[in-house]
């Protein structure tokens, strides 16, 4: 158990999707969580304490070089965490704006839907697409997930796009906990 007992917000997503970068952007710090171009950088559950809640940086899933055993034990960890964690007030689920959800993403999506936890979808690396493609891809991602476009926020840790919106939604989830 974490002390003091505060609500938790967890960042969930494939390896390399930008979880640690987004955490740093949300907190307004450059290098709180370790960012790397090598997938699988975050290997532990890292906890960052903010005044009113915890931000949890989870290891990424779908890491190509992970062994089958590692994959299985990670999935177990994620599923148990999402289902049982009492203070979990919300999840920020990250998807790269440029790609359709992978099989791993789809499995995680099913768990998220099953747990019914409040989930914010962050479409990451928005700066990698020109403006008009960005809106188009966001619509496609929403359709693929069976969600309205309002449930998704396009983010970029390079330009800062979407970070404030996401931070506000995170704070609202914390307030509702």
Tell me which residues touch ligand GTP (CB under 6 A): 13, 15-21, 35-37, 39-42, 59-60, 124-125, 127-128, 156-158
DSSP state of 37: S
Provide the angle, in degrees to the nearest 10, between the axes of the packed helices 68-84 and 103-115: 20
Residue 63 or residue 138: which is nearer to Mg ion going by CB? 63
CA distance 177 to 174: 5
Enumerate the β-bridge partners of residue 95: 123
To ligand GTP, the closest distance from the beta carbon of 153 in angstroms equals: 12
Pull the structure tokens for residue 151. Answer: 């449930």
Q: Shortest Cβ contact with ligand GTP: which residue?
A: 60
19 touches 11 (CB < 8 A): yes
Residues for the chain: how many in total? Answer: 177
Tell me the closest approach of the beta carbon of residue 36 to Mg ion, in angstroms.
Answer: 7
Q: Supply the DSSP symbol for 66.
A: S
CB closer to ligand GTP, 166 vs 174: 166
Q: Which does 49 bind (CB under 5 to 8 A by kind): ligand GTP, Mg ion, none?
A: none
Question: Which of the listed partners (ligand GTP, Mg ion, none) does 50 bind, with a CB threshold of 5 to 8 Å by partner kind?
Answer: none
Taking the complex as a whole, the smallest distance from the CB of residue 106 to ligand GTP amounts, in Å, to: 18
């Amino acid at each position: 158990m974490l002390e003091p007992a505060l609500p938790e917000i967890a960042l969930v997503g494939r390896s390399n999707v930008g979880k640690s970068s987004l955490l740093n952007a949300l907190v307004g710090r450059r290098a709180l969580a370790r960012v790397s171009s090598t997938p699988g950088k975050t290997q532990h559950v890292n906890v960052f304490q903010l005044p009113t809640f915890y931000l949890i940086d989870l290891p990424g899933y779908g890491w190509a070089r992970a062994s089958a055993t590692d994959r299985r034990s990670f999935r177990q960890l994620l599923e148990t965490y999402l289902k049982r964690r009492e203070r979990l007030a919300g999840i920020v689920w990250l998807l790269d704006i440029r790609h359709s959800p992978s099989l791993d993403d789809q499995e995680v999506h099913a768990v998220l839907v099953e747990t019914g936890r409040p989930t914010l979808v962050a479409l990451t690396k928005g700066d990698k697409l020109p403006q008009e493609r960005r809106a188009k891809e966001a619509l496609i991602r929403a359709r693929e997930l069976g969600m309205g476009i309002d449930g998704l926020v396009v983010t970029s840790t390079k330009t800062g796009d979407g970070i404030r919106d996401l931070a506000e939604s995170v704070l609202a989830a914390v307030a509702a906990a």
